[in-house]
Amino acid sequence: MTAKFWKELVKLVFFSLLIVVPFRLYIAQPFIVEGASMDPTFETGDYLIVDELTYHFKTPERGSVLIFKYPKDPKKSFIKRIIGLPGEKVSILNGQITIINTEYSEGFTLNEPYVKLNKKDSADYIVGAREYFVLGDNRLASADSRIWGPVPEANIIGRPIISFFPPAFFPGDNSNE
C-alpha cells in the first residue's frame, strides 16, 4: 500500500466524520421502537430516523407522533402521539377524548382512526404551559401521560420522518382538530 492510499483514506475518514457526527448530533438520529404502546402505527423493532431540527422552528401539533425523553428517567426515550397542547384540558370519558381550550370552550371530540385498542378509562387532565399530553395508539398497552403526566417541552427530541424497517416516509404532522 502506498503513502498516497493512506493519505486519501485518512482524508476520507476525516471528512466523513466532519459531516456525519454533526448530522447525527444535531439534525437526525436513529430510534428503535420497543413495546406495543404504538401498535399498529409502529411495532417493536421498527427502525426510525428522528428529525431533531423541526421543533426548534415550529411547535408540535396535535396528532403528531413525538420522540421524547421520558420525564421520570431522561436516559430513556419514548414514542407517543400528541393529544393535548399547552394550556388545554384533556377530558377522557369511557375512552373518548374531548379537548377544551380557548378556541373551543365547550370542547371538541377527537377523531382517532389510529387507535386500535382503546381503554375505557375516564379522567381529566390540565396541560401546563410548555407541556404536551401524549398517549400511545394502543391505549390498552400504553404507559403514557395518563400515568406519569405531561411531557415538558424541554424533553422533546423530535419526530419520526423515515422508517427503515419497515420502509415508510412520514412527510408531515397528523393534526386532526
- pLDDT, tens digit (0-9, with 9 covering 90-100), for 23-74: 666 677 889 999 999 999 999 999 999 999 999 899 999 999 999 999 999 9
**DSSP secondary structure of the chain:** --HHHHHHHHHHHHHHHHHHHHHHHHTEEEEE--SSTTTTTS-TT-EEEEE-SGGGTS---TT-EEEEE-TT-TTSEEEEEEEE-TT-EEEEETTEEEEE-SS-TT-EEPP-TT-SS-----EEEEPPTTEEEEE-SSGGG--SHHHH-PEEGGGEEEEEEEEEETTEE--S-----
Q: Model confidence over 77-86: pLDDT tens digits?
A: 999 999 999 9
From the list 64, 80, 142, 145, the catalytic residue is 80
Q: Model confidence over 103-129: pLDDT tens digits?
A: 999 999 999 999 988 899 999 999 999
Q: Counting beta carbons within 10 angstroms of the beta carbon of residue 76, is it exposed (0 to 12), middle (13 to 18) or buried (19 or more)?
A: exposed
From the list 37, 64, 142, 145, the catalytic residue is 37
Rounded to two decimals, what is the model's pTM? 0.83
**What domains does the chain contain, in order, with CATH numbers?**
3-165 (2.10.109.10)
Annotated catalytic residue 80: yes
d(CA 15, CA 124): 53
